């Protein structure tokens, strides 16, 4: 599952929320308490009589005792707000059954039984978008993590694997297309109604069940696997969206081929369906053979999608397809093992994206996400290991730590083992555990056995939270360079004392005179402190460390600006070069934002940054995609993470001031870059994408130096644009400038794309994230816009999530921005608790801010915590954020 991301009321109806009781802390679920389920469910048959307002579900479960579990006289079938119509056991009445909260508990004698359960549900009232719900006249399911229990009573846990046969029937005019997991076995008509039967031969947990019924059209194609199986491929969308599915289909075929070539994984059904849904809590879901996607990650053409959208579609389609093996054929034993499937699959989609595009740029983009989201998570009140020891609400653990840090941990194993040995380990993992519900330990053991490396100490990465801090010292002793490294993992909630973990660091030592190095080394720091010696240096070299971001750590080093300028100009590792450039700007902005920068130091620091940037603008060997990364300034969020008691207002002023200075000093170079980039016609080539990236970057620099002139240039770009990347880039700059050009182009953009939900999402997001001084007023006005609704997660996120990154909006000194997000959480929570809870971490960073803003932010969390009827999702996030 891809996160973009339980219910507060049984059926998700906000009117029902008035009757809800004040929330209590949900019970703590602990990993150490895991026990196998006492019953197996070898086969499940589901019969759906479909309707938007009433769907009847008949479930027939064949169950037998689990020989690997303690015997139990009862079977607990999870439910969530279900209406039980009837219950039969072995063809007759069930002698013993009872409701325990929302769960159905049935008493059984003997070893094998057939249980038949009939339930009725109202998909149209399900605003939580979990279970079976209605989306613009279509029926759709979302079952991960615990949504299946909103459809029928079932042991809704990932270690209960079953083969499913599904029959759906309903009015043909309402639901002309009927889809489920696996292969279609049969279909027919009965007057105005019709039916379809699907069978999935591969055992799966209930969270991978999927059903879609609605009026859809398909782009169809095929793929022949390396074993000769011809697979029918379909991308299902609403009528009118078909022309925007070509890129999605091509991405799917590339994913299938790449997984065969790189991991030896072949697809295992005769059919693969993707369905685009406009109301969806997440990015996409990997249900076996029937992937359900947020429309954002399916629909694209040059007029409506940016280059980033194209890349996102390719990456997410790859991610969900790769889950067929790393998540479906091998699933999780329990939800504590979530990173087993998500961390591994994120790594797989990252490697795929690197192979499909610019590998260095994709690596930098991945690190930027990690630092922008996961590092703050790791240093705050919501910090947790990639395999947690306990949770209260599982939906709150679909986090960047589980996904992105989980991927980095597996990438470290790959780095230490080497590509060939890592592949042997993954092959062993797939062979050993195919058809099982496995654990993170199973994966590590397979890599260990396949590669021959000892990962005993490395397992600490799975159990310890926090981002390690590595301190670096480089000294010279005779002709030896001595690299001394030390590590410390800071305390996190519930974990005060941490043990040293193996940290693989790729390093190179540059000769100052030649500007080159004799080769790269891999050093593994597995102690609190250790030294490594390198011979053959007449004088102290320049150190390039954590090349390729070989470990998810922060590096503390006492390095002179001259050496950073050297690395920014000469390092042959693209990430290390980028890192040197970022370090130059971050150290300058951190010192300035803390008020510790003298005039002389400011002038010297700015001059060093200009020297480094000129080396980038003048480097003809660079491609423009990488040039764009090297010219980009560090984000305000990343700068704030380096400061205790950060003042967001001061950081914003210093960052914009530096940007204006650089725009003035590099005016000629930037002007030349823009003119050159503007001449390239639109295409999806790397060269053209790099040119478009640079044009928007130059506009943002120009806006800091001369806003009115930049507005004219941005308006010119907007008017001439023949693609969304150029048009959106120009509008992004215009939204931060109070000018007639801003007003006119925002109106034109809306009128041009009115009715296209995904593009109107961009219209909301651009205004909410702008640098305009009246951004709060704009967001409040947009919340009253006729096109805005809280009931669609994409639309709610498009306005409010970008706002949490608006420096003088969200972080307004009077706390108005914090109050705006707190009000959103309270309004959204009874409608869609999962989406509401995703906004809480933005308020949970109060400990990192200066005292005035910290108090205001904390007060809003306290106000949310005191609200009655709060969902379990939001309640847990708020109370953990308060500490």
Q: Are residues 438 and 499 in the same domain?
A: no
DSSP string, 242-265: GGG-HHHHHHHHHHHHHHHHHH--
Give the per-residue pLDDT at 820.
Answer: 98
Q: Rounded to an integer, what distance in angstroms lies between the CA atom of residue 175 and that of residue 224?
A: 30
Tokens 């589901």 belong to residue: 46
> With contact defined as beta carbons under 8 Å apart, do 311 and 136 qualify?
no
Same domain, 285 and 336: no
> Using CA atoms, how far apart are residues 160 and 138, in angstroms rounded to an integer?
29
In the beta sheet, which residues pair with residue 475?
482
Q: Are residues 209 and 67 in the same domain?
A: yes
How far are the Cα atoms of 10, 223, 279, 621 from residue 16, in angstroms, in the given order?
8, 48, 21, 63
Residues 503 and 609 in one domain: no
**Is there a catalytic annotation at residue 22?**
no
SS3 for 125-183 is: HCCCCCEEEEECCEEEEECCCCCHHHCCCECCCCCCCEEEEEEEEEECCCCCEEEECCE
Where is 695: in which H helix or E strand?
Answer: helix 686-705
Whether residues 340 and 357 fall in one domain: yes
Look up the pTM and report it: 0.96
pLDDT at 12: 33
Is residue 556 situated within a structural domain? Answer: no
CATH of the domain at 447: 1.10.390.10
Domain final residue pick, 551, 577, 596:
551
Q: How far apart are CA 459 and CA 438, in angstroms?
A: 16
Main-chain dihedrals φ then ψ at residue 709, nearest 5 degrees: -65, -40
Consecutive H or E run containing 313: helix 307-322
Answer for the pair 810, 824: CB distance below 8 angstroms, yes or no.
Answer: no
Examine the fold and report which residue of 290, 323, 351 is the final residue of a domain before the chain moves on.
290
DSSP run (H or E) holding 98: strand 96-100
Identify which of 358, 432, 396 has the alpha carbon closest to the alpha carbon of residue 693.
358
Residue with structure tokens 């997440």? 282
Roughly what angle, to the nearest 10 degrees, separates helices 667-678 and 648-665? 80
What distance in Å separates the CA atoms of residue 345 and residue 336, rounded to the nearest whole number?
Answer: 16
Give the closest residue to 271 by CA, choosing from 180, 205, 210. 180
Tell me the chain's radius of gyration from C-alpha atoms: 28
How far apart (Å, rounded) are the C-alpha atoms in residues 348 and 350? 5
Beta carbons within 8 Å of 740's beta carbon, 6+ residues apart: none
- Residue 336, domain extent: 331-463
Q: 145 preceded by cis ω (within 30°)?
A: yes
Q: What is the pLDDT of residues 134-148, one digit of tens each?
A: 999 999 999 999 999
Gap between the Cα atoms of 283 and 250, Å rounded:
19
Query: In angstroms, rounded to a whole number, what is the distance separating the alpha carbons of residues 69 and 76?
Result: 14
Long-range contacts of 415-420 (CB under 8 A, 24+ apart): 415/504, 415/506, 415/522, 415/550, 416/453, 416/458, 416/502, 416/504, 416/522, 416/524, 417/447, 417/450, 417/451, 417/453, 418/451
Pairing state between β 230-237 and 271-277: parallel
457 and 591 fall within a common domain: no
Which one-letter DSSP state was computed for residue 567?
Answer: H
Instruction: Report whether 767 contacts 782 (CB < 8 A).
Output: yes
The pLDDT tens digits for 606-646 are 999 999 999 999 999 999 999 999 999 999 999 999 999 99
Q: Is residue 612 part of a domain?
A: yes
> Which of these is catalytic: 146, 286, 320, 408?
320
Q: Which of 524, 551, 578 is the last residue of a domain?
A: 551
> Do residue 602 and residue 699 come from a single domain?
yes
- The answer to whether residues 603 and 737 belong to one domain is yes
Question: Residue 867: which CATH number?
Answer: 1.25.50.10
Continuous H helices in 555-622: 561-570, 574-593, 599-617
Instruction: Determine the pLDDT at residue 242.
Output: 98
Q: Cα(873)–Cα(835) distance, rounded to whole angstroms?
A: 9
- Any domain includes 607: yes
CATH code (residue 522):
2.60.40.1840
Residue pair 119/82 in contact by the 8 Å Cβ criterion? yes
Provide the pLDDT for residue 17: 33
Directed axis angle between helix 307-322 and helix 338-356, to 10°?
130
Does residue 261 lie within any of the structural domains?
no
| Count of structural domains within the chain | 4
Burial class, 109, CB count within 10 angstroms (exposed 0-12 / middle 13-18 / buried 19+): exposed
My answer on whether 450 and 577 are in the same domain is no
Check: CB of residue 715 under 8 Å from CB of residue 741: yes
433 and 484 together in one domain: no
Is residue 68 domain-resident?
Answer: yes
Pairing of strands 529-535, 554-557: unpaired
Q: Look at residue 820 and give its three-state secondary structure.
A: helix
Task: Kindly give the parts of the chain with pLDDT less than 50.
Answer: 5-22
Could you tell me if residue 310 is inside a domain? no
Burial zone of 467 (CB within 10 Å; 0-12 exposed, 13-18 middle, 19+ buried)? buried
Q: How many CA atoms lie within 13 A of 721 on its CB side?
A: 27
- At residue 4, the pLDDT reads 57
The verdict on residue 59 lying in a domain is yes
Spatial distance between the Cα atoms of 870 and 279, rounded to a whole number of angstroms: 23
285, β-bridge pairs = 292
For residues 192 and 312, what is the distance between their CA atoms, to the nearest angstrom?
A: 41
Q: To 10 degrees, what angle do helices 406-417 and 338-356 make?
A: 70
Task: Give the DSSP letter string of 351-408.
Answer: HHHHHHS-HHHHHHHHHHHIIIIIHHHHTSTT---SS-SEES-GGGG--HIIIIIHHH
- 541 & 597 share domain: no
Q: Is residue 642 part of a domain?
A: yes
- 512 and 596 fall within a common domain: no
Domain harbouring 109, CATH code? 2.60.40.1730
- Give the helix/strand (H/E) hosting 178: strand 177-180
Q: Is residue 834 within 8 Å of 6, Cβ to Cβ?
A: yes
């Amino acid at each position: 599952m891809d996160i973009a991301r339980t219910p507060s009321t049984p059926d998700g109806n906000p009117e029902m929320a008035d009757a809800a009781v004040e929330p209590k802390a949900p019970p703590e679920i602990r990993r150490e308490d895991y026990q196998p389920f006492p019953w197996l469910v070898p086969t499940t048959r589901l019969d759906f009589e479909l309707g938007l307002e009433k769907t009847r579900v008949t479930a027939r479960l064949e169950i037998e005792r689990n020989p690997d579990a303690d015997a139990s006289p009862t079977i607990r079938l999870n439910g969530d707000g279900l209406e039980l119509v009837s219950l039969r056991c072995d063809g007759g009445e069930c002698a013993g059954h009872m409701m325990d909260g929302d769960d159905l508990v049935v008493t059984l004698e003997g070893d094998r039984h057939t249980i038949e359960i009939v339930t009725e549900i109202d998909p149209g009232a399900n605003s939580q978008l979990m279970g079976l719900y209605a989306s613009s006249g279509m029926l759709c399911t979302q079952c991960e993590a615990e949504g299946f229990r909103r459809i029928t009573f079932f042991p809704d846990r990932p270690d209960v694997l079953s083969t499913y046969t599904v029959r759906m029937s309903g009015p043909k005019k309402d639901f002309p297309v009927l889809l489920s997991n696996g292969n279609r076995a049969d279909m027919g008509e009965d007057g105005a109604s019709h039916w379809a039967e699907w069978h999935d031969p591969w055992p799966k947990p209930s969270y991978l069940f999927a059903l879609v019924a609605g009026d859809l059209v398909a782009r169809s194609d095929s793929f022949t696997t390396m074993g000769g199986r011809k697979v029918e491929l379909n991308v299902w969308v609403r009528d009118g969206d078909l022309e925007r599915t070509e890129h999605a289909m091509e991405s799917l075929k590339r994913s299938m081929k790449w997984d065969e070539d790189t991991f030896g994984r072949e697809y295992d059904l005769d059919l693969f369906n993707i369905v685009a849904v406009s109301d969806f809590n997440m990015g996409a879901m990997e249900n076996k053979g029937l992937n359900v996607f947020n429309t954002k990650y399916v629909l694209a053409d040059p007029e409506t999608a940016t280059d980033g959208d194209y890349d996102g579609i390719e990456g997410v389609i790859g991610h969900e397809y790769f889950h067929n093996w790393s998540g479906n054929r091998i699933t999780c034993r329990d939800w504590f093992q979530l990173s087993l499937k998500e961390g591994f699959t994120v790594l797989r989609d990252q490697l795929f994206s690197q192979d499909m595009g610019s590998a260095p740029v994709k690596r930098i983009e991945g690190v930027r996400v990690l630092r922008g989201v996961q590092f703050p998570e790791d240093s705050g009140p919501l910090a947790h290991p990639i395999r947690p020891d306990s949770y209260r609400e599982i939906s709150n653990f679909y986090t960047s730590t589980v996904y992105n840090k989980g991927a980095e941990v597996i990438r470290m194993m790959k780095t230490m083992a080497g590509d060939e040995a890592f592949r042997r380990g993954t092959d062993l993992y797939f062979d050993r555990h195919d058809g099982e519900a496995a654990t993170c330990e199973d994966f590590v053991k397979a890599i260990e056995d396949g590669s021959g490396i000892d990962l005993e100490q490395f397992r600490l990465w799975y159990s310890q939270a926090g981002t390690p801090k590595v301190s670096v010292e480089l000294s010279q002793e005779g002709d030896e360079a001595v690299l001394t490294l030390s590590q410390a993992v800071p305390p996190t909630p519930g974990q005060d004392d941490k043990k040293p973990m193996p940290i693989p660091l790729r390093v190179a030592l540059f000769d100052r005179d030649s500007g080159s190095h004799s080769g790269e080394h891999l050093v593994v720091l597995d102690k609190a402190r250790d030294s490594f010696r390198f011979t053959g240096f007449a004088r102290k070299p320049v150190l390039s460390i954590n090349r390729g971001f070989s470990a998810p750590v922060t590096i503390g080093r006492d390095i002179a600006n001259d050496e950073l300028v050297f690395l920014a100009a000469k390092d042959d590792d693209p990430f290390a070069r980028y890192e040197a450039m970022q370090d130059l700007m971050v150290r300058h902005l951190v010192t300035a934002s803390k008020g510790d920068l003298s005039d002389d130091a400011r002038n010297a620091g700015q001059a060093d940054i200009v020297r480094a940037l000129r080396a980038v603008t003048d480097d003809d060997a660079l491609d423009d995609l990488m040039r764009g990364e090297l010219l980009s300034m560090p984000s305000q969020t990343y700068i704030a993470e380096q400061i205790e008691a950060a003042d967001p207002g001061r950081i914003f002023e210093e960052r914009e001031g530096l940007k204006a200075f650089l725009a003035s000093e590099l005016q000629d170079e930037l002007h030349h870059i823009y003119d050159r980039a503007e001449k390239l016609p639109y295409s999806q080539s790397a060269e053209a994408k790099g040119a478009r990236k640079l044009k928007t970057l130059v506009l943002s620099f120009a806006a800091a130096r001369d806003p009115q002139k930049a507005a004219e240039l941005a308006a010119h770009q907007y008017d001439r644009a023949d693609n969304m990347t150029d048009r959106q880039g120009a509008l992004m700059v215009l939204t931060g400038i109070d000018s007639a050009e801003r007003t006119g182009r925002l109106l034109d953009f809306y009128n041009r794309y009115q009715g296209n939900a995904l593009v109107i999402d961009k219209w909301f997001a651009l205004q909410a994230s702008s640098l305009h001084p009246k951004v709060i007023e704009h967001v409040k006005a947009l919340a009253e816009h006729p096109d805005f609704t809280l009931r669609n997660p994409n639309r709610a996120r498009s306005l409010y999530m970008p706002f949490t990154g608006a420096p003088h909006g969200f972080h307004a000194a009077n706390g108005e921005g914090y109050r705006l997000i707190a009000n959103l959480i309270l309004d959204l929570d009874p409608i869609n608790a999962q989406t509401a809870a995703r906004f809480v971490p933005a308020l949970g960073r109060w400990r990192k801010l200066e005292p005035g803003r910290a108090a205001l932010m904390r007060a809003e969390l306290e106000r949310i915590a005191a609200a009655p009827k709060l969902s379990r999702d939001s309640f847990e996030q708020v109370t953990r954020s308060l500490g």
